[in-house]
Structure 1
Amino acid sequence: MFAKLGALMDRYRWPVVGVWLVVVACGAVFGGGLFDRLATTTTNRADSESAVAQATIDRIAPQGSVVIAVIEGRDVYDGGLNASVSKAANEIRTMTGVKEVNDLYTGQGGQIGADNMSTTVRVELDPRLTDADREALEDRVRDRLEMIEAPKVTVGGDKIAERAFAEQSVDDLAIGESVAFVALLVALVLIFGGVVAAGLPLAVAVAGVAGSLLLLLGLSYVTKVSEYSLNVVTLLGIGLAVDYSLLIVARFREERRVLEPTEALVAATERSGRAVLISGLAVALTLGGLAVFAEPLLAAVALGGAAVVVLATLAALTLVPALLSLAKHRIKASTEPKRNVLARLATKAQAKPGPVALAVTAGLLVLAAPLLGANFANSDARALPHSNEARQAYDALQTKFNNNHPDDVVVLVEAGPERADVRMFMNQINQLQQDVFRLEVRRDVPKGWTVLDLTPKGEVGGEESYDLVRRVRAMSTPFPKYVTGSSAEVVDYRQSLAGRLPLAALVVLLVTVVLLFALTGSVVIPLKAVLMNLLTLLATLGVLVVVFQWGWGQVPLFFDSWGGVDLTTPVLLFVFIFGLSMDYEVFLLARIKEEYDQRPDTNRAVLRGITRSGPVVTAAAICIGIVFLGFTFGGLVAVKEIGVGMTVAVLIDVTVVRGLLLPALMTMLDSWNWWAPPFLRRRPAAVIRERQRV
């Protein structure tokens, strides 16, 4: 099958390249339209308690978006400041779409900071404004507030922070791609020793990016495509496109040692095509496991990611052979493989398999230990770079006015506050003195409803606010009640992820086991791969806790720790690590299986397989690591987490796991590596015994 594919790509190279050039051109012309269609995607499902409660509040007592200015550096009792703030507040009140303005001098709700040198202006907009009108009005309000005569005026708000996330995400994407492409070009030239061979994977990556933009643009008309998912999906697509291209180009250079260029092209496609297809299927199907969670953000990443992976696989299987056909006489053959790093590690592991396996496992578990104190929560304005104005406004509000308390926990009661049982319920809440700092009854709520705003004790991101959500929900009341707010959203998100994690894990594990069984004919090897991938995941998450939650990476990575890790990060890493680990698993095992089929000696097959495939695995790891590191140069902490997480995972996977743990375990198991139940071994020989070299 793949030999025929290689021959077809060689024969029809110009039409194939032409089709991909059209894809690149369309991506360049139309792909930019995607950025105008990006949307903010929520993490929680619409049927979660917090989402239902918030939707009800928005219906019965809607509140518009809030723009808030923090004015610092001037005595709040200064007459000049009074006049400047009052003038700005009165002018803003005359703007169409402004519902209410609160400040210290002309309206209710004015605040004085803890330093007596700061105050706020709070502007609420009409909730009936369309998104476009709201954003235009926010800009006008912000411009006027920034004209207040004070040493420092910073303007923020929830919706302004959301827009800052979107803008920063697009900027991060441009920075990440630029850094990745430049560094990749240098790395590939060093790896291949020539510009032509190095340029092929990059050309495929460019085609992949253009095609991805078109795919995501099409998806944006069916579902929401978020700024965050665009970054993550594009990062994944570039990495895979380079990885798969590298595998085929490296095999072509190897085959050129003994074959003519055309024969080498067919042989490279034949012997690497199956590995690329299996790996692409593995990543696409494991990404499908994200859809099990059903949260809008994860569903968007699952759909977009699977589509981009399919595109990267298609490009590797068609565009790479076509480009090789055009440049086959200009690409030199590679030299005979020497004792590379992975081969040397494998030799040591095979010499003492038991101690090596024990030491590697213990070391990975030590790296995973910080997970015991992990704080997984939703990112807020603190995930923005400190240079961002919305982030500065948030920090100033928290330190000078809110005493760093978390956002309010909001309780919706389906009964009026005049009822005795509702007042008794409020008294019960007030008795939670260890949890509640302040309770306020919201005004302007229709009759028959009550909305309570509870300010939790503790600090932002602490467990106190989550405990308060759970305690209020656990209270027995004769009337329906619902709890919402940012802390309730985290509680619901955690519960939803925990509840659906077993099913998602089952999908990922089945994909891993089935595809590796199809490759090796063994059930032991896939189960071993699952355990090794799990160790890699746990160790990676432990490192992320140290780098981001503990803040050890703040200086080298240029971010401010907010004391936690985004709750979406471990879910995405679970899928990505299992999916991308299959790349190296397939690359190595396919070669090991070929050697074993030629001579059934496990130790020999493992060492020879790693020796022959080690260079391409190492090169692929370097390249995909560069891609992920490119995205740590952006400003969003959540994207940095994915970039650092995947880089750490690749580093761990390609060194201690593939270089030490894999050969150690295979040496210990010896012939048991290839065991399968009799009813599976009776499958057609074409499925089980197909010999394939990578």
Structure 2
Amino acid sequence: MLAGLGRAMYERRFVVIAAWVAVALAGAVFGGSVYDRTQSVDTLPADAPATAAQDRLDALDPEGERVVAVISGRDVGATELITSVTRIAYEIRALPGVAEVDDSYTTGRRQISTDQQGSLVTVELKPGLSDDEALRVADQVSAALRRIDAPEILIGGGLLAEREFTDQAVRDAAVGESVALVCVALLLIVLLGGLVAGLLPLAAALAAVAGTLLTLTGLAGLLPVSEYAVNVVTLLGIGLAVDYSLLMIARFREERAADPRAPLAVLIDRTVVTAGRAVLISGSAVAAALVGLFAFGDPLLAAMAMGGALVVVLATAAGLTLVPVLIALAHRRIPAPRPPKRTSLLVRLAGFAQRRPRAVALTATAGLLALSAPLLFAEFANSDVRVLPTSSEARQTYEATQERFADPPKQPLTVVVEAPADRPDVKELFDRVEQLPGVSDVFVRSELPPGVSVADVVPSGAADGPEAQRLVAELRSLDAPAPLLVAGPAAELTDAKRSVADRLPVALAIIVVSTAALLFALTRSVVVPLKAIALNVLTLLATMGVLVAVFQWGWGAGLLGFESWGALDLTTPLLLFVFAFGLSMDYEVFLLARVIQEWDRRTATDAAASDRAVLAGIAAAGPVITTAALAIGIVFLGFVLGDLIAVKEIGVGMAVAVLLDVTVIRGLLLPATMSLLGRWNWWRPGLTATAPPAQVPVA
């Protein structure tokens, strides 16, 4: 399939370079505007019960966005403060787009802090405003609130928090990508032995990312694109493109060293035929893993999958077309690899594992399972204002309302019953609701269309905490006299968890079957793909255990610069599974391709032949895998430099997964298990355990 592609790229190298330069320039000029076109993406499928309940509520009793202000630093009974708040409250009521103002002096409901030094002002905007209109009115409201005569004024609310999240995501992306690119460039220049050789993978990475941003900008007009998705896929693209570039460069060096007199076109063609197959299989494995995200039916995950699939396709295309052309143009500036001064770490680890395979396999597996133990206590939730940095005004406002007020405003569970509120059985139903454990209060709404009843049920704990989630189940199981729907944060989280649990088997089947098929195509073995999947699952379990300890329990929170909010984002394990699984396949393909090549060179039939092939394959592929792991680890650590906790989770998780994969999995468990299995590694139906696999082109 790839035969002749390298020669074609060489012969049309200037056309290929011109095409990629055009893509990169267009991406640089127009791709950045994708951040201006991103939007908040729902985290629930359209058919979720909570979604249906919220749609019904919006039709019955639409509510606008809210702006919340905490006025602090002066006794709430001070005349100057009362006068100032009263004057500003009436000014805000007169603003176009404002529906209602609730404060402690001009309305009946007083909300005073427990220390008598603070009060709340809540402004509801008119429903039906577009996002831009609502933000414009919110800014006008904020400007008016800041004129209140008080030492400290904090302003927040859902709408302003969403804008802060978007702005923070853009800042995090700029900082993380810049630092990652600089660090990766320095690393590659040192490890590849030259400026040009070191910058070549980055050129491919930038071209792939620019193309992705350009495509996302176009798609943003047709589909919702999340700023979170843009952050994740750009760094994923950098990591993949660097990996594929390193593999192609390493193979070109080997071909050149083996046949220094061969024409450059021949060397490029051989490089693409061999290393290109590994790139193609690896890219297909990552893309297949991303397709699994679509199975969840989650709009946010679908946006991630769309962006991720785009960047994988472009990174793979860059590896197969742009990188060979860059090598052809810069081949004189790509030095031969320096002879190693000593045996590499991976080879030493593999040799140790092969000498004691049973003990190493048991110990390494036990260690990974121990790391995964915290996962038994994991709490997952939808990200909210608490994932913003502590410097965020929206977060400070939220925390002030929750900590300083005896009866802070809460997002209740809202029950919709398709029957009039004055019916005796409906009144009895709401009386039963009020007696349920975990219910703090029940408020029945008035002025609704005839034939329907709505009650706000305030949970006694957090709005989406465990008690509120249990309450959702109890409300939905009530023997209601008419159809009953439940909306609210806890209902949304409950439905999200149920949706993930219901659709997880389908997603796993897509990922596992497609990955196993690709590895079978590479190895012609049934055992090796199954073993690779099992080892990847061990890595992911251990990684998730580390994330629970760090982000839920707060271990090392000070070092990483965040405050734990007591849970992990619900999308983190799904994204981590897909990205880490796909990237682990990179190293699996790189390594197995060389192992098979070494196996095919051997004519021995004794059991030690497999061990020698594994060790030789690790020695050959080890430098590429180690360099790629260091580079991609640095790229994903760029996430940690940002302030969004959900993004930090992905960065730390990917860095831990890569570290475990390259050391414990590739260095210890893989050689140990292959030693234990011996020639059974290459078994497939219809083939005896003593027969070698069919010879296939390898990287």
- Shared fold (TM-score, shorter chain, > 0.5): yes
Whether 2:629 is the aligned partner of 1:621: answer: yes
* Contact 2:463-2:490 within 8 A present in 1 as well: no
Q: Which residue of 1 aligns with 2:300?
A: 297
What's the CA shift for 1:33? 2.6
* Contact 1:254-1:335 within 8 A present in 2 as well: no
1:412 counterpart (409, 412, 416): 416
Q: Which residue of 1 aligns with 2:596?
A: 593
Alignment of 1:564-575 (within 5 A): 564-575=567-578
The 1:402/1:378 distance shift into structure 2, 3 A limit, reads farther
Q: Which residue of 2 aligns with 1:47?
A: 47
2:451 counterpart (445, 448, 453): 448
Q: Which residue of 2 aligns with 1:689?
A: 694
* Contact 2:522-2:696 within 8 A present in 1 as well: no
Q: Which residue of 1 aligns with 2:276?
A: 273
* Contact 1:405-1:460 within 8 A present in 2 as well: no
Alignment of 1:336-347 (within 5 A): 336=339, 339-347=343-351
Aligned AA (2:275): S
Whether 2:540 is the aligned partner of 1:537: answer: yes
* Contact 2:463-2:489 within 8 A present in 1 as well: no
Aligned AA (2:355): A
What's the CA shift for 1:2? 3.1
The range that moved more, 179-188 or 442-451, is 442-451
Deviations 1:407-444 (A, max 9, x none): 31111111222111111111111212x31112112343
With the length of structure 2 as denominator, give the TM-score of the two structures.
0.96
Q: Which residue of 2 aligns with 1:128?
A: 128
Q: Percent identity?
A: 52
Q: Which residue of 2 aligns with 1:106?
A: 106
Distance 1:266 1:258 in 2: 14
Distance 1:345 1:405 in 2: 57
| DSSP-derived class of the 2:332 partner | coil
* Contact 1:226-1:297 within 8 A present in 2 as well: yes
* Contact 2:610-2:679 within 8 A present in 1 as well: yes
What's the CA shift for 1:503? 0.6
Q: Which residue of 1 aligns with 2:480?
A: 477
Whether 2:526 is the aligned partner of 1:523: answer: yes
Deviations 1:109-148 (A, max 9, x none): 3311122111011101110222221111011101111221
Distance 1:198 1:616 in 2: 13
What's the CA shift for 1:32? 2.4
What's the CA shift for 1:170? 1.4
1:357 counterpart (356, 361, 382): 361
Deviations 1:624-651 (A, max 9, x none): 0011000111111111111111110000
Q: Which residue of 1 aligns with 2:675?
A: 667
Q: Which residue of 1 aligns with 2:555?
A: 552
Deviations 1:274-329 (A, max 9, x none): 00000000001110010011110111111221111001000111000101111011
* Contact 2:288-2:515 within 8 A present in 1 as well: no
Q: Which residue of 2 aligns with 1:27?
A: 27
With the length of structure 1 as denominator, give the TM-score of the two structures.
0.97
| DSSP-derived class of the 1:539 partner | helix
Q: Which residue of 1 aligns with 2:18?
A: 18
The 1:444/1:157 distance shift into structure 2, 3 A limit, reads farther
Alignment of 1:179-194 (within 5 A): 179-194=179-194
Deviations 1:185-207 (A, max 9, x none): 11111211211100100101110
Deviations 1:33-67 (A, max 9, x none): 32221111011011111000001111110011111
1:366 counterpart (361, 370, 373): 370
What's the CA shift for 1:172? 1.2
Distance 1:170 1:362 in 2: 41
Deviations 1:161-193 (A, max 9, x none): 111111111111111111111111111112112
* Contact 1:461-1:563 within 8 A present in 2 as well: no
The range that moved more, 493-502 or 409-418, is 409-418
Q: Which residue of 2 aligns with 1:233?
A: 233
Q: Which residue of 1 aligns with 2:496?
A: 493
Aligned AA (2:271): A
What's the CA shift for 1:405? 8.5
Deviations 1:593-625 (A, max 9, x none): 111111151000000000111011010000000
Aligned AA (1:645): G
| DSSP-derived class of the 2:363 partner | helix
* Contact 1:215-1:308 within 8 A present in 2 as well: no
- Matched pairs, number: 688
Alignment of 1:210-221 (within 5 A): 210-221=210-221
The 1:232/1:404 distance shift into structure 2, 3 A limit, reads farther
Aligned AA (1:612): A
Distance 1:90 1:449 in 2: 34
Aligned AA (1:583): D
The 1:285/1:36 distance shift into structure 2, 3 A limit, reads same
| DSSP-derived class of the 1:293 partner | coil
* Contact 1:461-1:564 within 8 A present in 2 as well: no
| DSSP-derived class of the 1:678 partner | coil
Q: Which residue of 1 aligns with 2:139?
A: 139
The 1:200/1:680 distance shift into structure 2, 3 A limit, reads farther
Whether 2:90 is the aligned partner of 1:90: answer: yes
* Contact 1:255-1:333 within 8 A present in 2 as well: no
| DSSP-derived class of the 2:333 partner | coil
Cα RMSD after superposing both structures: 1.7
Note the residue ranges of structure 2 that are not aligned, 5 or more in a row.
none
1:327 counterpart (330, 335, 354): 330
* Contact 1:621-1:651 within 8 A present in 2 as well: yes
The range that moved more, 221-230 or 93-102, is 221-230
Alignment of 1:576-615 (within 5 A): 576-599=579-602, 601-615=609-623
Aligned AA (1:616): V
Whether 2:651 is the aligned partner of 1:643: answer: yes
Q: Which residue of 1 aligns with 2:434?
A: 430
1:286 counterpart (276, 289, 296): 289
What's the CA shift for 1:387? 0.6
Distance 1:690 1:96 in 2: 74
Distance 2:407 2:516 in 1: 52
* Contact 1:286-1:578 within 8 A present in 2 as well: yes
Distance 1:121 1:384 in 2: 22
What's the CA shift for 1:14? 1.1
What's the CA shift for 1:446? 2.2
The 1:349/1:403 distance shift into structure 2, 3 A limit, reads farther
What's the CA shift for 1:355? 0.8
* Contact 2:50-2:491 within 8 A present in 1 as well: yes
Distance 2:47 2:584 in 1: 34
What's the CA shift for 1:372? 0.8
Distance 1:670 1:87 in 2: 83
Distance 2:316 2:688 in 1: 29
* Contact 1:161-1:390 within 8 A present in 2 as well: yes
| DSSP-derived class of the 1:155 partner | strand
Note the residue ranges of structure 1 that are not aligned, 5 or more in a row.
none
Distance 2:580 2:654 in 1: 7
Q: Which residue of 2 aligns with 1:630?
A: 638
* Contact 2:65-2:126 within 8 A present in 1 as well: yes
2:398 counterpart (394, 397, 412): 394
Distance 2:448 2:76 in 1: 33
The 1:648/1:404 distance shift into structure 2, 3 A limit, reads farther
Alignment of 1:453-472 (within 5 A): 453-459=456-462, 462-472=465-475
